[in-house]
Structure 1
Amino acid sequence: MILREYQKKAVSIALEKKKCVIVLPTGTGKTIIGAYFVKNLLDKGKAIIVVPTRILVEQTYNVYKSLGLNPTKIYGIIPKSKRANLWKKAKIAITTPETAYFDKEYIDHDIIVLDECHHAIGNDYYAKLLREKEFEYKLGLSAFIPKKYRKEIESLIGEIIELYDEPSLKKYIPNWIGDIYEAPLNKLEYQLYKEIEELKRKSKGSKRLIYSLALKYLATDGGLALKESVSKNNILSKILSPFKDKIEKIRDLHKWDALKSILDTYEFEKAIIFIDRVIVAKRVAQSLDAALIIGKKHKNIAQSLKEAKEKNIIVATSAGEEGLDLPSADLLIVWSQTSNPIRFIQRHGRIMRPTKMLKFVTYIVTPYTIDVDLFLSAVLKVSKYVDININVKNYFKKSSVHQIINLLTEPLTKDMLKQLGFTDNEINIALKYGIENGDIVYFYSPFGKLYINKDFMYMVERRYPTIFIPKWEGKIKINNKTIKGDYQKLYEKLSNMIPIKGLKITVIKKKDIIEYDWRSYNYTIDSKPLLRLVLRNALS
């Protein structure tokens, strides 16, 4: 097999570093990279390949075997007494993190490759294995590493190296046509949604979380998911007992018509539909006579994968997001929206393998609900890695978080918004969008950043005049020039440069000694009144 240029580079980097994480889009052959990493090191010792699921053990085994390597599959279903002998003999062992961890006393390998290594955090078996066993050579592979996990993953595996910008990679990642299909709730369903949402706003702690789950089940997966949840003897069913009659009357699958419209509109050879809830996935698969992949609880994985290759429609839960080998898929349908950037990228990876076919990605969203919030949250997080080829600007107006922007006619901090019943996720989406879109600006105060709709920015100075009294000098680097001086001098110089896309101001505080501070305004300053407020605030 001839490696692609970016694959050669990845293998070279991994061998040079000895311990690192390679980040590449899903569908670009990371398994091949791992195999060649191992192939180059077999004279150094034995290798263990860790993949998240039994499905991936099978697929990875086939890849390694096709490259002339001689791997051994080690499953948890094999009795432990027999696994001990397999570990001893295996030059290359392919296994799951659970099996590797519980068999750690048999592992004396020098090389480890960790597929989907973003799992290596906290108490996950990936992380537990790496904390208790040392390897001379480590290679992690992933499509995306969240910022909050980078430090932990680097400490367990090695330096994170992203190769998304590799020039040779671009021709292997095809463009696609993206589209959004709306599946609105009907009058009864929306009334039920708003009543539950109102209770959520008034609740705190675990109760608020339960109401959030109910909203997600209804808006994202459908009435069938909510009905199943309340049919059980659990906290959710007790909390939602006053709504029992309404829940019985709502539709099972409010997204069904949108799904049928997508399937009727696009010409495709193979379509993948991602649905989170198993009961919904089963209903949809049965109605479409589609292949169904629902994860570890599925009794016959081999039969499931066989059907996935034979049938032209596949319905998959999260089991299909990691490593499902479907190179011919040309239509991706996202029924259940997710805010998780890893899952979002992995789903898109199902159609990123290059073919001559025109490809399509469609999202079914429920407007004015948490479903749109989840979708927009993911889009904002992965914009560097996945271009969905859709202008989502108008959808912020159809998200529940848009009401946050409407509230900002008065200056409010994040904590104030949380006290009004909004979640951290809702607040972060709204503020990020509002700032990037030019709807929101912020100013610094003793109790945190004050956010406000730009049309009402004068209200901040009116409410908090003391944070706009300049008393220090400042230094600004702009257009390769450094400008230094008091408020008046900076204002005179900068007013001729409007619009200014973001401003970082170093504040020089002169007391007995000179101390430096800085404030950053990451929005476009497009008027003199806004520039005046920014400078007065920065130097106060």
Structure 2
Amino acid sequence: MFNLLNFTPREYQESIFQSAKEKNTLVVLPTGIGKTAIALLLILERLNKFPDSKVVFCSPTKPLCNQHYETIKNNTNIEKEKITLYTGNLSPKTRKELFESSKVIIATPQTIQSDLENKRIELKNVSLLIIDEAHKTVKNYSYNILASIYKDYSLHPLILALTASPGGNKEKINEIKNNLFIENIEIRTEDDEDVSPYLQEKNVEYIKVTLPQEILEIQANIKKIQNEKLSELRKFGVTKPIHVINKKDLLVLMLQFRREIDKKNPAGFYGVSLVSQLLKLSHALEILETQTIDSFKDFFDKMRLEKTKASQNILNHPEIKTALIKLENLKNRTHPKLEKLIEIIKEQLESNPNAKIMIFANFRNTVAILALELSKINNAKVIKLLGQKEGITQKHQLNAINQFENNEFNVIIATSVGEEGLSINTLDLVIFYESVPSSIRRIQRSGRVARIKPGKIIFIIAEKTRDEAYYWKSLKEEKKMKNILKDMQDDSQSKLI
């Protein structure tokens, strides 16, 4: 008989577990209040109910898999050798043997998918499939394929999907539901009576900074050429007002122009170059408004090395030439957002020398610049946390997190890799260096703090820029998501009665 060790489930965890025992269930809980505990309860229930079966627990990254491995090992009486951290680092032969001999397999979905496709393993005796960070179950992600194979081949299929943030619209949430064959939704928010006693206080501060006149002038130069190029889209039948054309619209146009090239239409080449210029100009504006002056300079330095027509057209435009002359005059200036960040870190470490701080920034280049500048602050020991797209292995990511948790560093600067479910319990402060338009990413970032003690979140916002627009967009999307999920939960539970 398998049992829990070292903790007692809370009332809401027990309630959700009871609901998830018989139906494929999507669980939406605020970060840091024990989604994994519900998984533990269900793992034990299924292994006791079907003694010859096993459980597969999928999580999107190796650091997350490692966390779940430690949790299951330390909080159940399942034999340690029967709990397997199943990674691509193991040889295929070893993985096959471990899969057959284990009761609980913790793995990335890609590793399981690869072994299924190569017929090394089968899911016939898997009585529970756990999908962590279930908001990823969209498009062609491995979770979709796994869930479909599992549903068709398992003798006793049951799916438990876990997330803090499935998405801000009904279509996205329905896509996750359909891909995972969800029949039941369990949601709890910070406002629910059975959850609120366990939440730590989370103070949110919104700090606006004003862009100086010199940056506003460069912004005006870029916007002038941007509007010029947007107006040229009229030649191609684009009727949407230019002030509301966004990146998504431009990417759709890019596909259309590439199709014209395939049809040997010379206008397609002009269209592709025009859209490329607009995408580059939009990115330049984003960097200027929301990142650092050095990031903006680096962007144009890299553009000078490109030989594409789009890059050369931008660099040769009089407005850009004027903007780059003005940029030279900003050489020794610091972007107001970076000034504010330095001020916040100094104040935090002066008032609390033991403070642990996490800063999120979207771009690797910005992370490097922030790390360089913040390292100059007295008592600031800074480490970077970058993703695999930036060439960093998951082993290095885990090392960075462990070093931070062990107090070798007190400031960690992360790209989006830091958003995904990582349990860094010691954090005092999370800083959004820029806003994100996605409610999922906002919730994930915010969830890194106030897990076991009170914490603070600071948004640094450049006034009258996309920073402000993204802040309000993600907030509105989060509220909408909660309302949609509550309606879906009521609907799914009424069908269970």
TM-score (norm 1): 0.66
* Greater Cα offset, 340-349 or 235-244: 235-244
In structure 2, the partner of 1:213 is 283
Q: Structure 1: which amino acid aligns with 2:286?
A: K
Partner of 2:107: 95
Conserved? CA contact 2:207–2:459, under 8 Å? yes
User: Residues 166 and 440 of structure 2 are in contact (CA less than 8 Å); yes or no, is this contact kept in structure 1?
Assistant: yes
Is 2:15 the partner of 1:9? yes
Match of 1:284 in 2: 370
1:283 alignment partner, SS class: helix
In structure 1, distance between residues paired with 2:440 and 2:346: 30
Query: Could you say which residue in structure 1 is the equivalent of 2:218?
Result: 192
Hey, what's the Cα distance between the residues in 2 that align with 1:348 and 1:284? 20
Which residue of the partner structure matches residue 398 of structure 1? Answer: none
Equivalent residue in structure 2 for 1:160, among 159, 179, 185: 185
Deviation at 1:210, TM superposition (A): 3.7
- In 2, Cα distance between the equivalents of 1:326 and 1:143? 16
In structure 2, what is the equivalent of residue 482 of structure 1?
none
Deviations 1:1-45 (A, max 9, x none): 11111111121111132x010000011111222122112111322
Secondary structure of the structure 1 residue equivalent to 2:90: coil
Corresponding residue of 1:536: none
Structure 2 counterparts to residues 411-422 of structure 1, below 5 A: none
Q: Which of 339, 345, 357 is residue 271 of structure 1 equivalent to?
A: 357
Give the drift of 1:313: 1.6
More helix by share: 2
Match for 2:161 among 127, 140, 160? 140
The aligned residue for residue 298 of structure 1 is 392
- The CA distance in 2 between the partners of 1:24 and 1:144, in whole Å, is 8
Could you list the runs of 5+ residues in structure 1 that have no partner in the other structure? 387-540
Question: What percent of counterpart residues are identical?
Answer: 25
C-alpha separation in 2, matches of 1:74 and 1:248: 53
Q: Structure 1 194/129 Cα, relative in aligned 2: closer, same or farther at 3 Å? A: farther
Greater C-alpha radius of gyration: 1
Q: Answer 1 or 2: higher relative contact order, Cα 8 Å, separation at least 6.
A: 2
Provide the rounded CA distance (Å) in 2 between the counterparts of 1:187 and 1:362: 25
Are residues 49 and 198 of structure 1, via their aligned partners in 2, closer, same or farther at CA, if it must alter by over 3 Å?
farther
CA distance in 1 between counterparts of 2:213 and 2:343 reads 22
1:89 Cα deviation after fit: 2.2
Match of 2:59 in 1: 51
What corresponds to 1:497 in structure 2? Answer: none
Question: Secondary structure at 1:174's aligned position in 2?
Answer: coil
Q: Aligned pair in 2 of structure 1 residues 107, 352: CA closer, same or farther (>3 Å)?
A: farther
CA distance in structure 1 between the aligned counterparts of 2:223 and 2:185, rounded to whole angstroms: 40
Q: CA deviation at 1:248?
A: 5.6
**Count of aligned positions:** 383
* Structure 2 portions without partners, runs of 5+: 1-6, 234-249, 252-274, 376-380, 483-497
Q: Which digits, 9 at most, give the CA deviation of each residue in 1:409-454, with x for residues without a partner?
A: xxxxxxxxxxxxxxxxxxxxxxxxxxxxxxxxxxxxxxxxxxxxxx
Q: Give the aligned residue type for 2:179.
A: L
Q: Does 1:337 align with 2:343?
A: no
Aligned mate of 2:122, from 99, 107, 115: 107
Q: How does 1:22-421 map to 2 (within 5 A)?
A: 22-43=27-48, 44=50, 45-68=53-76, 69=78, 70=80, 71-104=83-116, 105=119, 106-108=121-123, 109-134=126-151, 135=154, 136-146=157-167, 147=169, 148-157=171-180, 158=182, 159-164=184-189, 165-202=191-228, 203=230, 204=233, 205-206=250-251, 207=275, 208-230=278-300, 231-232=302-303, 237-238=311-312, 240-241=314-315, 242=317, 243=320, 245-246=324-325, 250=330, 253-266=335-348, 267-268=351-352, 269-286=355-372, 287-288=374-375, 289-296=381-388, 297-299=391-393, 300-309=396-405, 310=407, 311-355=409-453, 357=454, 359-383=455-479
Counterparts of 1:213 and 1:122, CA distance in 2: 25
The question of whether the paired residues in 1 share the 8 Å contact of 2:294 and 2:369 is answered with: no
Matches of 1:90 and 1:255 in 2, distance apart?
51
Q: 1:306 to 1:229 in 2, by over 3 A?
A: same
Query: What is the CA–CA distance in structure 2 between the aligned matches of 1:199 and 1:133, rounded to whole Å?
Result: 53
Structure with the bigger percentage of strand: 1
Q: 1:49 to 1:196 in 2, by over 3 A?
A: same
1: CA distance between counterparts of 2:335 and 2:109?
Answer: 36
1:119 positional shift: 0.4
Shift of 1:239: 5.4
Task: Please state how far the C-alpha of 1:120 moved relative to its aligned partner.
Answer: 0.3
Indicate how the Cα distance of structure 1 residues 190 and 2 shifts in structure 2: closer, same or farther if over 3 A, else same: same
Letter in 2 for 1:143: A
Q: SS state of the match for residue 162, structure 2?
A: strand
Q: Which amino acid aligns with 2:419?
A: E
Q: Secondary structure at the match of 2:345?
A: helix
- CA distance in 1 between partners of 2:367 and 2:282 (Å): 21
Letter of the 1:160 partner, please give it: I
Question: What SS does structure 2 have at the residue aligned with 1:28?
Answer: coil
